């Protein structure tokens, strides 16, 4: 397969960026998108051209490091996947593919397709801890939790912090990320003692870091690789409003 790649190049956060055009041949349909970028970089090394910087780690859809904006969509044309799980068979042979980094005020570009997502870590740090005694595990039946609540908490905790919700939101909001973290704990008894403080602290930190406000467009839900829904944002709002009484 043959592709024309239109890739964003930028030397640093204060440097003006531009699109650079590359052509790549002999790509099999079972090649992943990141493997295709690896092949491109190998070719660039042989030609003495500076390689394209992009972020990646596990390449199993777990770490959330590989976020790229591909043809106008976070993680590309498939749904419920990260960039490393995208395969070149999803693109017609000979097509032009535009590759950009996450574009958000809170995610400054490090270089090329790599962005600084430490703002998400700072929001998590603001969430703090939960009050659970350490030591021997308690008897399972002493904290009865319905399977429905357990599953709901697990669905929220599936968030990998990739930042796709921020990148696709017209306001650059991190509400889906914050809501998933709040929900994962507030649904369970272990997360109740600090629930109010956690919601207030994380929202305040999010606002202070330059993320935009949520206006209920729903694009975050559509592009989340773990299919986390805006229902968790509704829970976050309830937690926040309850705490302000």
Q: What is the pLDDT of residues 201-235, one digit of tens each?
A: 999 999 999 999 999 999 999 999 999 999 999 98
Rounded CA-CA distance 159/64 in Å is 9
What are the residues whose beta carbons fall under 8 Å from the beta carbon of 47, sequence distance 6 or more?
A: none
Beta bridge partners of 36: none
Q: How far, in Å, CA of 161 to CA of 32, rounded? A: 21
- DSSP-assigned states of every residue in 88-157: GGGS-TT-EEEEE---BTTB-EEETTEE--HHHHHHHHHH-------SSPPPGGGS---HHHHHHHHHHH
pLDDT for position 112: 97
pLDDT at 240: 83
Query: In angstroms, what CA-CA distances link 208 with 70, 108, 136, 212?
Result: 29, 15, 39, 10
Would the pLDDT of 156 be above 70? yes
- Distance separating alpha carbons of residues 185 and 19, to the nearest angstrom: 42
Quick one: pLDDT at residue 21? 97
245 pLDDT higher than 60? no
Q: How far is CA 61 from the centre of its chain?
A: 11
pLDDT tens by residue, 28-80: 999 999 999 999 999 999 999 999 999 999 999 999 999 999 999 999 999 99
Q: What is the mean pLDDT of the chain?
A: 92
CA distance 57 to 91: 24
All structural domains of the chain, each given as residue ranges with its CATH number in brackets, are: 3-111 (3.10.20.30), 118-243 (1.10.1060.10)
Burial 141-179 (b: 16+ CB within 10 A, else e): eeeeeeeeeeebbebbbebbbbbbbbbbbeebbbbbbbb
Its pTM stands at 0.90
């Amino acid at each position: 397969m043959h592709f024309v790649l239109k890739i964003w190049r930028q030397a640093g956060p204060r440097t003006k960026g531009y699109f650079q055009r590359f052509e790549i041949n002999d790509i099999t349909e079972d090649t992943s998108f990141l493997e295709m970028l690896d092949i491109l970089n190998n070719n660039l090394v042989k030609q003495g051209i500076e390689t394209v910087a992009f972020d990646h780690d596990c390449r199993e859809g777990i770490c959330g490091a590989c976020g790229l904006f591909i043809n106008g969509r976070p993680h590309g044309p498939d749904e419920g996947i990260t960039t490393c799980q995208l395969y070149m068979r999803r693109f017609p042979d000979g097509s032009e593919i535009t590759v950009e980094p996450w574009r958000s005020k809170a995610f400054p570009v490090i270089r090329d397709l790599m962005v600084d997502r430490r703002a998400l870590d700072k929001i998590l740090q603001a969430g703090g801890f939960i009050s659970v005694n350490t030591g021997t595990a308690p008897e399972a039946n002493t904290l009865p939790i319905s399977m429905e609540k357990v599953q709901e908490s697990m669905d929220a905790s599936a968030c990998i912090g990739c930042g796709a919700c921020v990148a696709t939101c017209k306001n650059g909001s991190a509400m889906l990320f914050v809501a998933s973290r709040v929900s994962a704990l507030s649904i369970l008894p272990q997360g109740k003692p600090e629930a109010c403080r956690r919601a207030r602290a994380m929202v305040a930190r999010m606002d202070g870091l330059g993320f935009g406000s949520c206006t209920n467009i729903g694009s975050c839900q559509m592009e989340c690789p773990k299919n986390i829904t805006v229902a968790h944002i509704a829970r976050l709002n309830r937690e926040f409003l309850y705490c302000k009484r």
